Structure 1
Amino acid sequence: MEVSWEESVTEAINTIYLLFSAYLVFMMQLGFAMLCAGSVRAKNALNIMLTNVVDAVVGSISYYLFGFAFAFGTGSNANPFIGTTFFALKDVPNPDFDYAYFLYQWAFAIAVAGITSGSIAERTQFGAYLVYSFFLTGFVYPIVAHWVWSSSGWLSTSSTQLLFGSGAIDFAGSGVVHLVGAIAGFWGAFIEGPRVGRFDAFGKPVPMRGHNATLVVLGTFLLWFGWFGFNPGSFTKILVAYPSTAGQGNWTAVGRTAVTTTLAGSTAGIVTLFGRRLLIGHWDTMDVCNGVLGGFVAITSGCAVVEPWAAIVCGFCAAWVLIGLNILALKLQYDDPLEATQLHGGCGAWGLIFTGLFAKEEFVVQVYDSGLAGMAPRPYGLLLGGGWKLITSQVVAVLAIVGWVSVTMGPMFYVLHKLNILRISIEEEVAGLDVSSHGGYAYVNHAEEEQPRRYADYVRFRDDDQS
């Protein structure tokens, strides 16, 4: 079939935009690494940076071998172990997008493992990171991606049999990415238990602040920049176009998505800043950074289908969800060094619910129906008069994701725990993972001053334990 010049140009532009978005999402790994490194104590900085690298490299192999096929592959050619190529996809709009589409989806997949690593930081054996990262990226996450983003998924908005006539709207992954990573991290942190010294004998929390606010701020801004590939770039998942009568292309929706993303994150950041000021009595850099990220996580589901004013509402509520869950976590003596479960889980779940409340009918039709004539009316936000179908689908999606990740990652972490390959020893944790597992410290000056004494302490603890 002969392709016109206009079609070739359109295809080339879409491919370039898809790849550029993939590069932005991949750069979020650097943001995760900097955020995690700054949020842990100095004696564990080298370890947490290494685990972020491991999440990327191990996730790449597992997603290539298994994950992409589970998420989007069809037939005998869906997996390289079975057929000649794993790029036989019905879900990709154009076969020429296959490689670019794989790269974009891969960048999403490895982000999930990065979320989980934050929850179990500072007390986990390195081998456990290898196991969970491979399993989460290659199997657990892709199944959820298939449910929501594949045309044959039971929660998909493009399925031939829409759940409640709607399907679940999770445009860029508040549930598919963030909630999955958070629930996996929750079970890991819950089974491991709190870090040594995190709570005193009376159950009251003992502060264990991160060692470098500069890295936290750097990581936050890198994640902010990458989110412009995460959310606006997610139009490449569907490559929709507005009806020609509208006189506008899908670039208008891309711009709107970038604006809603920015407003939600900014609102959550400022609300968290002032909210925490009232609670603790001073301005806190770490808190405002997490607030910004919480707003981004929440808006990720509905960024393409809500008005800018609704994004402000989303960010405002996300900030209080984060603050409230952090208070609850301390009361329950749950220890998550990066607040990853509260941030990505709580705000991710809120994002799905928010979309069911505030999705605008016009935008839902533009994004998911592409102006096709004869389509049944699309359910939209409950608070905008759209009825209960969409919000019910969103609630079902939250429950399904939490259930699926719990029945897969929970037993996996429990088995690792029973095999004594999940948590490090108390002596190693006191000495720090950098010296006990990686032969040194992340900072030269710190190593010169502290390593001889701390390593001697570690050796003494180890020898005493063996004797």
Structure 2
Amino acid sequence: MNEVQLSLALDSLWVMLGAILVIGMQVGFALLEAGSTRMKNAGHVAGKQILSFAIASLAFWAAGFAITFGKGNGFIGTEGWFLKEGTETFSSLSWANVPLELKFLFQLAFVGVSLAIAWGGFAERAKLSVYFIFGTIFTVAIYPVIGHWVWGGGWLGEMGMQDFAGSTVVHLQGAIAALVATLLLGPRIGKFNKDGTPNYIPGHNQVYTVIGGFVLWVGWFGFNAGSTMGTADGFFGYVALTTNIAAAAGAIASILTAKWLVGKADIPAMVNGVLAALVAITAACAFVEPWAAAVIGAVAGSFTFWTSVYFERKGIDDPIYAFSVHGIAGIVGTISTGFFASPRLVEKTGIGKPGLFYGGGVDQLLVQTIGVLGAAVYVAVVSFIILYALKKTIGLRVTPDQEISGLDISEHGSYGYPEHLDPTYQQPPTVVSSRSL
């Protein structure tokens, strides 16, 4: 095996590992979201992760990948349906030295994460049919458009927007869709009193929430470090370093913020602080120094907890705080490179300009702001049109009786915890061991 073949083999193995880690984040989301919601919806919330990834896989293969990375114009790709590759069809990904199939698998993993984030705003009250319809449209008409703008040779990429692994492309998109769904669906039954004050609806299993958060933390090394899509210079190690530093800072900042604001060192708040920090560093991981990563993570972790409390007090019922964790933190992370992008790292990546704190002026800050606003507006408008149309036709929400009984039984016919929730559940007969006779 010569040097070129060895390089290709190592890069391919690395991208495959990265894809597996990011796809494995679906396990993290299943545990996190099921643990953060009520027992009567646990099976539904966990099971939709498989459904979601299956929908994304087929829709992204058929059209989403072509619209994101296919040759086209500054707004959408117009070639490469069903992964049919021509001479320059996927030239936007030519910088990565791995087979097209691996490029697709890795990018598919990102779409799956974005869609999983969006479902947070639907939790505990949306019809199963909505997942099929909105999931398909999100994968072919929402996510790919912003992906093309930033990563596929579109207008934001041409401007030099710095979003290394997707604080905006992946996380902000999913969060905006979640927020629109939350607003159109309305709050869960019993969430708010007549005077508008919120009632606390705890998740049924904090252990699941913590384990899910840790699975996501580990998976994020595939998310960020895997986005180098190569091993030659070992830069993936640096990206992993900044990612981990940010996550650690987010954990500490969030639990201290919770203690300060509500008087308790809230465990779910700490988990969300880790995730918010990871979301924020996702854009900046290749552009900032380790000290800046700690600052970005701490700011995101702290600010996310404060905004989750604020939005709830304003009457927004976001069951797993998808908009605060992935939206607010996504904005913080994307904007942060406009302040913290290091000249040496900008030179290495070849993307954009140094940040304001390094004497780069406001140019990069303006580009990052335009990118955030452009993405947010597009996703909000298209998501609203789709979900509003669904609301007026098939309906978005299950009936009150179905919501009260739980989506496990009303949508799937059985509870995730039948021995606790189903009064007709019978334990299997006791088998007497011959040894006890």
**CA distance in structure 2 between the partners assigned to 1:95 and 1:87 by the alignment:** 15
Query: In 2, Cα distance between the equivalents of 1:388 and 1:71?
Result: 29
Tell me whether 1:388 sits opposite 2:362 in the alignment.
yes
Kept in 2: contact 1:306–1:358 (CA 8 A): yes
* Structure-2 residue corresponding to 1:232: 225
1:296 to 274, 278, 290: 278
How far apart are 1:211 and its partner, in Å? 0.2
Q: Which residue of 2 aligns with 1:107?
A: 109
- 8 Å Cα contact 2:11-2:98 kept in structure 1: no
Following superposition, the deviation at residue 449 of structure 1 comes to 4.2
Is the counterpart of residue 268 in structure 1 residue 250 in structure 2?
yes
Taking the aligned partners of 2:139 and 2:424, their CA distance within structure 1 comes to 37
Tell me whether 1:133 sits opposite 2:135 in the alignment.
yes
Conserved 8 A contact 1:294-1:344: yes
Q: Is the 8 A contact 2:418 2:425 kept in 1?
A: no
1:72 aligns with 2:69: yes
Q: Following the alignment from structure 1 to structure 2, what is the Cα–Cα distance between the partners of residues 295 and 451?
A: 43
For the residues of structure 2 that align with 1:284 and 1:316, how far apart are their CA atoms?
A: 16
**Structure 1 residue corresponding to 2:384, chosen from 394, 407, 410:** 410
Q: CA deviation at 1:21?
A: 0.5
What SS does the corresponding residue of 2:413 show, helix, strand or coil?
Answer: coil
Distance across 1 between alignment mates of 2:379 and 2:135: 13
**Which deviations, in whole Å up to 9, do the C-alpha atoms of 1:2-60 show, x marking residues without a partner?**
xx921111111111111111111100011011101101000011111121111100111
Q: TM-score, normalised by structure 1?
A: 0.86
Aligned to 2:92: 91
SS of the aligned residue for 1:80 comes to helix
Question: 8 Å contact 1:109–1:137 — kept in the other structure?
Answer: yes
Partners of 2:416 and 2:59 lie apart in 1 by 28
Per-residue deviation, 1:230: 0.3
Shift of 1:89: 1.5
Is contact 1:52-1:117 (8 Å) kept?
no
For 2:422 and 2:127, the matched residues in 1 are separated by 25
CA contact (8 A) 1:179 1:345 kept: yes
The aligned residue for residue 31 of structure 2 is 34
Residues 72-119 of structure 1: CA deviation (Å, up to 9, x unaligned):
1227751139x6889941123268520110000000011111001111
Amino-acid identity (%): 36
Aligned pairs for 1:40-51 within 5 A: 40-51=37-48
**What amino acid is the match of 1:8?**
Q
- Equivalents in 2 of 1:250, 1:298: separation in Å? 25
Change (3 A) 1:122 1:451: farther
Q: Can you list the C-alpha shifts for 1:326-353, whole angstroms capped at 9, x where unaligned?
A: 1221221000100001110000001011
- 2:168 aligns with 175
C-alpha separation in 1, matches of 2:339 and 2:361: 9
Query: What is the letter of the counterpart of residue 425 of structure 1?
Result: T
Q: Does 1:423 align with 2:397?
A: yes
Correspondence for 2:53 among 47, 52, 56: 56
CA contact (8 A) 1:29 1:52 kept: yes
Once residues 318 and 4 of structure 2 are traced to their aligned partners in structure 1, the CA distance between those partners, rounded to angstroms, is 50
Q: 1:385 offset after TM fit, Å?
A: 1.0
Structure 1 stretches of 5 or more lacking a match?
157-161, 242-248, 370-377, 453-467
Which letter maps to 2:405?
A
Shift of 1:325: 1.3
2:312 to 308, 330, 335: 330
2:416 maps to 1:442: yes
Q: Distance in 2 between matches of 1:54 and 1:127?
A: 11
1:250 paired with 2:242, answer: no
Query: Is 2:40–2:421's contact at 8 Å kept on the other side of the alignment?
Result: no
Q: Distance in 1 between matches of 2:87 and 2:116?
A: 25
2:192 aligned partner: 199
Q: Secondary structure at the match of 1:155?
A: helix
Aligned residue among 12, 20, 25 for 1:15: 12
Does the 8 A contact of 1:359 with 1:381 survive in 2? yes
Q: Which moved more, 1:433-442 or 1:179-188?
A: 433-442
Secondary structure (helix, strand or coil) at the match of 1:124 reads coil
Is this contact kept in 2: 1:441–1:451, CA < 8 A? Answer: no
Partner of 1:321: 303
Superposition map of 1:186-225 within 5 A: 186-225=179-218
Aligned match of 1:245:
none
Unpaired runs of 5+ residues, structure 2, are 73-77, 427-437
- Distance (whole Å) between structure 2 residues aligned to residue 214 and residue 97 of structure 1: 39
Instruction: Write the distance in 2 (CA, Å) between the matches of 1:448 and 1:266.
Output: 41
Taking the aligned partners of 1:85 and 1:220, their CA distance within structure 2 comes to: 41
User: Residue type of the partner of 1:419?
Assistant: T
Q: Structure 1 residue aligned with 2:241, among 247, 259, 276?
A: 259
